[in-house]
Amino acid sequence: MEDDEMKFLRKNYPHLAAVNGSTYLAKRLNEILINHIKKCLPQLVTRVHDKTAENKRKLVELGETFTDPNSAVVKTVTQFTQNFNELTYNGNTIMVMEKRSPAARISFIFDDKFPNEINGLNPLEGVSGREVNHFLRNATGLNPHVFIPPTAFTSLLCKQILRIVEPSLEMVDKIKDELVQTVKDCNVGGIYDRFPMLKTRIQIIVEDELEMKVEETKSLIQNYIESESEYINTRHKTFDTFYKKLYRREFEKRNAPPPEEQNQDPDDLDTASSEDEDAEQYATYDGDKRNVRLIKKLVPAYYTTVKSNVKDAVPKLIVKNMIKHLHTNLTPLLMEKMHRAEDVE
């Protein structure tokens, strides 16, 4: 066919035969293609090198290649738990200095917010002088007591101690929120970038575990505070010292000369305040007035001891039952929940 084509061109177009025909066309197209490749090849080489270097950097950031999905799970979970433990104990070592670490935020709740909330509780809030007098009268029965009836003191105190339960349980929820936020902040080193579904999967597992521990911790805290109200330890060293001092002052006051014969110390422990006068106006006898005044001093004194115990015990229960539990059991928990290959993409 080629020979026929050339014969035709040479016979009819002898002056164009050398630059026409399929043979010449193939040669010319080949020259154009080669020239174009020579022109574009340096740019292509540069782009290939750039893309190769970029992909190598991504591979380095993502870490080693995993042929076994289970090894990927082990590697990722181990890195996550290490980051989580660092953030909840020594967050500043792996976080930017401008941002407060989860450990610092939890410490702030334990050391500042919670104590301030507990200290702000008034031991006599909602208790009027009339109610105090009723407590005393009902607890006295037929035969009057020489001193304050124990039942009146414990009944009034128990009611006030149980008011500590609510702020204590609220703190458990605050710590839970901080721990959940810590899970979101654990993308240190880009561990979430390689497996996009990992963040959601881990967060669900941790939240489910925390939900269970939150209820357990709240139950422990409530039982602890209720135990404080069930057993009033009047022999506690701090309260016992205050109690003896108060009654010694009361005895001295009763046996002292009439008020017009002595100068009253304005800073005296038993100086009647406007609050005491308000409480005593509902009492009929001098003994009742004295007991109302004393019980309104004894209840805050013991309440201070209870608040001190709660401020110390509640953070310990939270750390032991929630934070330390996660530190100890987070790795085996995640391994158990994420052992299937389809959990890692």
CATH assignment of the domain containing 147: 1.20.120.1240
Q: Is residue 6 part of a domain?
A: no
pLDDT: which is higher, 126 or 307: 307
**What mean pLDDT comes out for the span 248-259?**
62
Of 173 and 252, more confident: 173
Give the rounded distance of the alpha carbon of 44 from its chain centre.
Answer: 53
Q: Which of 168, 288, 159, 164 lies closest to 230, judged by CA?
A: 159
- For residues 224 and 317, the answer to whether their CB atoms sit within 8 Å is yes
pLDDT-based confidence at residue 24 (cuts at 50, 70, 90) = confident
Of 96, 63, 82, 319, residue with least CA distance to 186: 82
pLDDT at 218: 95
Q: Does some domain include residue 197?
A: yes
Residue 233 has pLDDT above 70, yes or no: yes
The pLDDT-based confidence of 312 (bands split at 50, 70, 90) is very high
- Is there a domain that residue 1 lies in? no
> Does some domain include residue 163?
yes
Which residues constitute the domain of residue 36?
18-62
DSSP H/E element including 52: helix 22-62
Do 289 and 157 reside in the same domain of the chain? yes
Is residue 149 pLDDT above 80, yes or no?
no
Here the tokens at position 74 are 């082990």
Q: Are residues 223 and 290 in the same domain?
A: yes
What pLDDT score was predicted for residue 173? 94
Indicate if 73 and 52 belong to the same structural domain: no
Q: How far apart are CA 59 and CA 21, in angstroms?
A: 53
Rounded-to-integer distance, Cα 76 and Cα 82, Å: 10
Q: Structurally, how many domains does the chain consist of?
A: 2
Whether residues 48 and 73 fall in one domain: no
Residue 9 lies in a domain: no
In a domain, 273, yes or no: no
Q: How much is the average pLDDT of 116-138?
A: 76
> For 95-107, what is the mean pLDDT?
75
| Statement: the pTM of the whole predicted model exceeds 0.75 | no
The mean pLDDT of the chain is: 77
Judge if 80 and 31 occupy the same domain: no
**22/142 same-domain check:** no
Answer yes or no: is 271 within a domain: no
Whether pLDDT at 343 is above 60: no
Domain boundary among 8, 29, 62: 62
Range with lowest mean pLDDT among 68-77, 85-94, 255-264: 255-264
**pLDDT at position 226:** 93
Helix %, strand %, coil % for the chain, to 5? 75, 0, 25
What is d(CA 335, CA 72) in angstroms, rounded to the nearest whole number? 11
